Amino acid sequence: MVWRGIFVILSVLFAVCVAVEEKEHVLTLDHTNFTDVVSNHNFIVVEFYAPWCGHCQKLAPEYEKAASVLSSHDPPIVLAKIDASDEANRGLATQYQLKGFPTIKIFRNGGNNIQEYNGPREADGIVAYIKKQSGPASPEIKSKEDAANVIDEKKIIVVGIFQELSGEKFENYTTLAEKLRADYDFAHTVDAKFLPRGEQVDKPTLRLLKPFDELFVDFEDFEVEAMEKFIAESSIPIVTYFDKDPENSIYVSKFFNGIGAKAMLFVNFSTELDAFQSKYKDVAVLNKENGLKGLSFLLGDVEAGEGAFSYFGLKPEQAPLIIIMENDGQKYLKAHVEPDAIASWLKDYKDGKLKPYVKSQPIPEVNDEPVKVVVRDTLEKMVLNSGKNVLLEFYAPWCGHCKALAPILDEVAVSFEKDSNVLIAKLDATANDIRTDEFDVKGFPTVYFKSASGKLSQYNGERTKEAIIEFIQQNRDDKPAQSEADSTTPESVNTDSAKDEL
């Protein structure tokens, strides 16, 4: 009996231990408590996720480990999560302009200050990044030892040098540091001699230390916007290298998130790098000196750039390949480019002599399903210039919401199959360029309706057969049927022929 009693006690203790070990440290939020929880915290980190997202599933255990560690911080730091794919939480997803999963945001001062989380995705890195973000935006460097602890020689850091830590310029600097702390490391000092690079200065100076190009650069305009622009331009290398070196990943991210047109040259680093590297950098330096349309430059390894090739709808066999992408999505490219041809091709771009490249899937040979397939090359004919009432879905093959909507659109299409003035269609937005002047697609699925007379509107109603059919009936405006005589005029025949040839 004694042993049995001990066994029961041990079993209970074991169960308690397991319960403690299995305690979740990540706080779960939804639309009912999100605002209250965020407003009651001076600092809280929130992950917006979707259960079906592979990246979210990979992040989950690391995020939980980090939450466990940070719960013991003094003061405790709260990590939370919210299922942004849940229909009930869609309002929050829209409010915070989510563009993908997972998205992590840092909320400060009860949610009055919101910043993107741009740190690592593994537990130790998350902990280190969040601890730094929860501290002062710009620590003071008072000695060379402080500088050694704060400045990582392999990273960018912005240092404000002031003769006294007060005044308008210092206040503008602290405002900037708070604003950009999620993107850059900041520090300040009253003596430049503590810094590893650069000369002494006798007036307020913003010094950007970096592990590439000229290693440091100074700036003296302390207007917040001017400093922000200076940091954005100076923190991108003259040529950003895109390979499998993790040290380069942060610069690749800044390159793609930066403003202005982007030139990207992809070559095989193992066999072609030496032939292209110096000539491409010479072009980039010349651009920086002459301001060639604000271009920034990237040199990528074909093997590391598989995702980029997929995005642009290109094949590695086309390398050496140079691409220019502008802010509005317009693209220009040249396949099998020679090292000596890069400068002249870029000059042709500057002079407006290049024809834009448009990504499109092949036109389907058979298109007889209820929901018709539209590709970029048929968008004008099937949708914009069709003279029909068209409901067009922009989707991604991997999107769970798109998969859920597919059978509903099939039912809608079947209900209109005998109505020649209505077309239900879909376009794979990951494989076809989107006309950004017509369509604003920031997430999937995005559904637009184009009436027969050409009126374009976005559908944001319920994703049910009944709601979609009702919307179409209320917004359609069929054109009068063209008479037989009109349809055989020479002008109309010639126009149709021209369109077919195009």
Q: How many CA atoms lie within 13 A of 65 on its CB side?
A: 13
pLDDT greater than 90 at residue 292: no
pLDDT tens-digit readout, 448-489: 999 999 999 999 889 999 999 999 999 999 865 443 333 333
Give me the pLDDT at residue 490, please.
Answer: 30
Residue 334 lies in a domain: yes
Domain-embedded: residue 406: yes
In three-state form (DSSP H/G/I as H, E/B as E, the rest C), the secondary structure along 36-73 is HHHHCCCEEEEEEECCCCHHHHHHHHHHHHHHHHHCCC
Integer angstrom CA distances of residue 390 from 3, 421, 480: 77, 8, 16
pLDDT surpasses 60 at 56: yes
- Which amino acid, 372? K
Q: Which long-range contacts (CB under 8 A, 24 or more apart) does 169-175 make?
A: 169/204, 169/222, 170/204, 172/222, 172/223, 172/224, 172/227, 173/138, 173/204, 173/206, 173/222, 173/227, 174/137, 174/138, 175/224
Which of 175, 205, 235 delimits the end of a domain? Answer: 235
CATH number of the domain within which 224 lies: 3.40.30.10
Residues spanned by the domain of 464: 372-475
What's the whole-model pTM score? 0.60
| E strand map for 42-148 | 43-49, 78-83, 103-108, 113-116
Catalytic annotation present for 399: yes
Do 338 and 391 share a domain, yes or no? Answer: no
First and final C-alpha spacing in the chain: 92
**Is 156 domain-assigned?**
yes
- Residue 196 preceded by cis peptide, ω within 30: no
More confident site: 36 or 478? 36
Name the least confident of 4-13, 250-259, 350-359, 480-489: 480-489
Q: Report the C-alpha dihedral over residues 335, 336, 342, 347, rounded to 10 degrees.
A: -40
Looking at the structure, tell me whether residues 399 and 334 fall in a common domain. no
**Do strands 205-209 and 216-219 pair parallel, antiparallel, or not at all (unpaired)?**
antiparallel
pLDDT for the residue 78: 96
Residues 249 and 227 in one domain: no
Q: Partners of 346 in the beta sheet?
A: none
Active-site option among 402, 424, 425, 447: 402
56 is catalytic: yes
176, 211, 235 - which closes a domain = 235
Query: Is 363 inside a domain boundary?
Result: no
Does residue 12 carry a pLDDT above 70?
no
Do 98 and 191 lie in one domain? The reply is no
User: Does pLDDT of 19 surpass 50?
Assistant: no
The CA radius of gyration of the chain, in Å to the nearest whole number, is 28
Query: For 85, left (φ over 0), alpha (ψ -120 to 50), or beta?
Result: alpha
Q: Which residues, at least 6 apart from 438, have a Cβ–Cβ distance to it below 8 Å?
A: 384, 456
Query: Considering 106, 284, 298, 399, which one is annotated as catalytic?
Result: 399
Angle between helices 465-475 and 400-415 (to 10 degrees): 60
Of the candidates 190, 205, 235, which is a domain's last residue? 235
Convert the pLDDT of each residue in 215-232 to its tens digit: 999 999 999 999 999 998
Residue written as token pair 């010639």: 494
Q: Averaged over 406-431, what is the pLDDT? A: 95
| pLDDT given at position 248 | 85
- 346 vs 47: CA distance, rounded Å: 42
Q: How far is CA 191 from CA 139, 156, 198, 204, in A?
A: 14, 19, 11, 11
- pLDDT band at residue 236, thresholds of 50, 70 and 90? confident
Half-sphere exposure of 362 (CA within 13 A, CB side): 3
Mean pLDDT of 349-364: 90
User: Based on the number of CB atoms within 10 Å of its own CB, is 238 exposed (0-12), middle (13-18) or buried (19 or more)?
Assistant: middle
The Cα–Cα gap between 102 and 100 comes to 6
Q: Do 207 and 192 form a contact (C-beta atoms < 8 A)?
A: yes
Instruction: Assess whether 198 and 213 both reside in one domain.
Output: yes
Evaluate whether residue 485 is within a structural domain: no
Q: How confident is the model at residue 246 (pLDDT cuts 50, 70, 90)?
A: confident
Q: What is the pLDDT of residue 197?
A: 93
Q: What mean pLDDT is reported for the chain?
A: 87
Q: Which residues pair with 390 in a beta bridge?
A: 423, 450
Q: What is the pLDDT of residues 163-182, one digit of tens each?
A: 999 999 999 999 999 999 88
Q: Is the pLDDT of residue 96 over 60?
A: yes
CB atoms within 10 A of CB 199: 11
Residues 462 and 410 in one domain: yes
Rounded alpha-carbon distances, angstroms, from residue 465 to 228, 254, 390, 410: 49, 43, 15, 9
Measure the CA–CA gap between 501 and 383, rounded to whole angstroms. 18
* 268 assigned to some structural domain: yes
pLDDT at 132: 87
pLDDT tens digit sequence for 315-325? 899 999 999 98
Q: Is 17 an active-site residue?
A: no
Omega within 30 of 0 (cis) for the link into 445:
yes
Residues 6+ apart with CB under 8 A from 94: none
Domain shared by 116 and 32, yes or no: yes
pLDDT value of position 307? 80
For 80, what's the count of Cα atoms within 13 Å in the CB-facing half-sphere? 21
Pair 334, 430 in one domain = no
Based on the fold, state whether residues 261 and 245 are members of the same structural domain.
yes
Task: Work out whether the CA dihedral 125, 119, 113, 96 comes out positive or negative.
Answer: negative
Question: What digits encode the pLDDT tens for the residues 116-165?
Answer: 898 899 999 999 999 989 989 999 999 999 999 999 888 899 999 999 99
Give yes or no: 402 in active site: yes
Amino acid 328: pLDDT? 75
Q: Which range has the worst mean pLDDT, 29-33, 268-272, 289-293?
A: 289-293
In a domain? residue 499? no
Give yes or no: residues 347 and 260 share one domain.
yes
**Which range (21-25, 244-248, 328-332, 375-379) has the least confidence?**
21-25
Are 82 and 67 contained in the same domain?
A: yes
Q: Is the pLDDT of residue 285 over 80?
A: yes
What pLDDT is stored for residue 491 in this prediction?
Answer: 33
Asked if 126 and 149 sit in the same domain, the reply is no
Q: Name the token pair of 18.
A: 């397991």
| Nearest CA among 138, 137, 135, 136 for reference residue 188 | 138
Count the domains in the chain.
4
List the catalytic residue out of 27, 45, 53, 157: 53
Is residue 115 a part of any domain in this protein? yes
Q: Which residue has the higher pLDDT, 311 or 176?
A: 176
pLDDT value at position 208?
Answer: 97
Kindly indicate the confidence band of residue 293, based on its pLDDT and cuts at 50, 70 and 90: low
